[in-house]
């Protein structure tokens, strides 16, 4: 059954406590360097203020230690970015449930927006503490979850706060609604061929995703450092590549279970140092010489993956094909991004790095959906259900 949405509730004169994911990157001067997560929350925020409601926004940023000097994790820069995007003042409380938050929440008038300080400054947030949650819930009449990037977490603001709202409405925001719809449709009724591309640093992060996708997809293409653990499992030579030796048996199981659905690189672009300026060589997969490490898929693999993507009707991509931050080891990632942009498939990009690669290359408009969630989109691809969404009101 569908969840009740922010559009379904009367918000005029009411205060909406909205959990957003403003976990955005900041530069050394404390300025937001990529405001996409703030921009993606605008439809829900505007929907409330345009209808005469008041909004209290709460989020985490980074992984601060409660009680430590956490000034670099303040949400103030995100509140400023939001004010710019809304072209109106946005109030900021220097705490979450303390006197400043309570006073500023009480002073809101219709159409106003208040951002609370980082929820993770309070130890109750990660602990899912009921007392902390009760104080947050007391600030508002309606709870809205529009924090897709955090939906796989059970932090207080995601679960204990809506629970503490009692009979008050608990609804989903536009972003969470849209993200869940895209990812659910892709998994439940994909147009075929359905190709998944998984890369990034560690196999251990993506084992469950690979397992689940092997049961759903027509092909699962592996890239990134993950590929070398699979190469080891096949008895290949991996030189100094990043591998997880304790995952080799698991990689063997996945290779056996995957059959020809699981596609591994056929060649590797290697370097003799973790630097752009290193000596480089392209070798067949499993033949990486000592003194070299695999830093990207090779050109033959890039061509093969691009061809498979070109013929796909649904593509899901999570994780770069190589060290894309360090040219020329961005070539494999670029080739995959280009192939996705050129294909007329339904394409879903998840994971901060893949989304950044697509944006950097200017392809963001050519893919169907760029998820704001890294861990959350992976959790969906694993087939997980989110407690933070399950407990919201049904339509």
Ligand X SMILES: Nc1ncnc2c1ncn2[C@@H]1O[C@H](COP(=O)(O)OP(=O)(O)OP(=O)(O)O)[C@@H](O)[C@H]1O
* Whether residue 111 has a cis bond before it, omega within 30° of 0: no
Residue of 3, 14, 19, 37 marked catalytic: 37
Piece of the chain touching ligand 3PG by CB under 6 A; list 50-58, 70-78, 149-157, 251-259: 149-157
DSSP for 144-209, written as a single string: EEE-GGGTT---TTTTHHHHHTTTS-EEE-HHHHHHHHHHHHHHHS--SSEEEEE-SS-STTTHHH
Q: Does 21 bind ligand 3PG (CB under 6 A)?
A: yes
The C-alpha atoms of residue 195 and residue 310 are separated, in whole angstroms, by 10
3 is catalytic: no
224 binds, among ligand 3PG, ligand X, none (CB under 5 to 8 A by kind): ligand X
Lookup result for tokens 């890369």: 199
Q: Interface with ligand 3PG includes 170 (CB under 6 A)?
A: no
Contact between 205 and ligand X by CB under 6 A: the answer reads yes
Q: Is 354 in the site for ligand X (CB under 6 A)?
A: yes
Nearest to 322 by CA among 245, 256, 223, 251: 223
Q: Which is nearer to ligand X, 125 or 353 (CB)?
A: 353
Residue 168, helix vs strand vs coil? coil
Cβ proximity of 318 and 209 under 8 Å: yes
149 binds ligand 3PG (CB under 6 A): yes
Residue with tokens 């992984």: 63
Residue 190 binds to ligand X (criterion: CB under 6 A): no
Using CB under 6 A as the binding rule, whether residue 285 contacts ligand X is answered as no
Spot the catalytic one: 46, 202, 261, 313.
202
Under rule CB under 6 A, which residues in 333-392 are in contact with ligand 3PG?
Answer: 374-375
23 labelled as ligand-binding? yes
**Residue of closest CB approach to ligand 3PG:** 23
Give the one entry of ligand 3PG, ligand X, none that residue 153 binds, where binding means its C-beta sits below a cut-off of 5 to 8 angstroms depending on kind. ligand 3PG
Residues of 228-238 as b/e, b for ≥16 C-beta within 10 angstroms? bbbbbbeebbb
Residue 318: CB minimum distance to ligand 3PG, A: 12
Residue 291 burial class via C-beta count within 10 angstroms: exposed 0-12, middle 13-18, buried 19 and up: exposed
At 218, give phi and psi (nearest 5°).
-85, -35
Backbone angles phi, psi at 18, to 5 degrees: -110, 120
Return the closest-CA partner of residue 60 out of 150, 173, 192.
150
Stretch of 12-20, 46-54, 106-114, 315-323 contacting ligand X, by CB under 6 A: 315-323
Q: Which of 47, 96, 118, 150 binds ligand 3PG (CB under 6 A)?
A: 150
Minimum separation from the CB atom of position 205 to ligand X (A): 5
| 8-state DSSP, 263 | E
Active-site choice (98, 111, 375, 383): 375
Burial class (CB in 10 A: 0-12, 13-18, 19+), 20: buried
Annotated active-site residue 37? The verdict is yes
| 8 A C-beta contact, residue 90 and residue 115 | yes
C-alpha 203/C-alpha 201 separation (Å) is: 7
Q: Give min distance, CB of 79 to ligand 3PG, in A.
A: 17
Residue 202 is among the residues annotated as catalytic for this protein: yes
Q: Which residues bind ligand X (CB under 6 A)?
A: 200-202, 205, 224-225, 242, 294-295, 318-320, 322-323, 325, 351-354, 374
Output the known binding site.
21-23, 37, 60-63, 120, 153, 206, 294, 325, 351-354
Question: Which positions make up the binding site for substrate?
Answer: 21-23, 37, 60-63, 120, 153
Q: Which residues does the annotation place in the binding site for (2R)-3-phosphoglycerate? A: 37, 120, 153
Instruction: Give catalytic residue positions.
Output: 37, 202, 352, 375
């Amino acid at each position: 059954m569908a969840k009740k949405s922010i559009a379904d509730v009367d918000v005029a004169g009411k205060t909406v406590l909205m959990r957003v994911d403003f976990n955005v990157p900041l530069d050394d001067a404390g300025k937001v360097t990529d405001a996409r997560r703030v921009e993606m929350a605008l439809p829900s925020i505007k929907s409330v203020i345009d209808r005469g409601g008041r909004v209290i926004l709460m989020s985490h940023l980074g992984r601060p230690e409660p009680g430590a000097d956490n000034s670099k994790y303040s949400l103030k820069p995100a509140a400023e970015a939001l004010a710019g995007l809304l072209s109106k003042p946005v109030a900021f409380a220097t705490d979450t449930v303390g006197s400043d938050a309570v006073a500023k929440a009480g002073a809101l008038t219709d159409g106003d927006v208040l951002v609370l300080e980082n929820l993770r400054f309070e130890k109750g947030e990660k602990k899912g503490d009921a007392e902390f949650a009760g104080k947050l819930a007391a600030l508002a009449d309606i709870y809205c979850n529009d924090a897709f990037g955090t939906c796989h977490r059970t932090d207080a603001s995601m679960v204990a706060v809506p629970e503490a709202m009692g009979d008050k409405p608990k609804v989903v925001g536009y972003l969470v609604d849209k993200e869940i719809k895209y990812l659910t449709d892709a998994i439940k009724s994909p147009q075929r061929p359905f190709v998944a591309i998984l890369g990034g640093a560690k196999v251990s992060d993506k084992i469950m995703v690979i397992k689940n996708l092997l049961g759903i997809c027509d092909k699962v293409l592996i890239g990134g450092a993950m590929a070398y653990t699979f190469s080891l499992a096949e008895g290949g030579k991996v030189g100094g590549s990043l591998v997880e030796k304790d995952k080799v048996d698991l990689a063997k199981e996945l290779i056996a279970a995957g059959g020809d659905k699981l596609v591994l690189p056929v060649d590797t672009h290697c370097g003799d140092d973790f630097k752009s300026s290193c000596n480089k060589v392209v070798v067949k997969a499993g033949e990486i010489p000592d003194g070299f490490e695999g830093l990207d898929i090779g050109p033959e693999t890039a061509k093969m993956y691009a061809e498979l993507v070109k013929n796909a009707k649904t593509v899901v991509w999570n994780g770069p094909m190589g060290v894309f931050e360090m040219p020329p080891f961005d070539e494999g990632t670029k080739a995959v991004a280009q192939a996705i942009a050129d294909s007329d498939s339904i394409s879903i990009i998840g994971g901060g790095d893949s989304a950044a690669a697509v944006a950097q290359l200017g392809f963001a408009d050519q893919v169907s959906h760029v998820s704001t969630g890294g861990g959350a989109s992976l959790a969906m691809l694993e087939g997980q259900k989110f407690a933070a969404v399950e407990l919201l009101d049904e339509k």
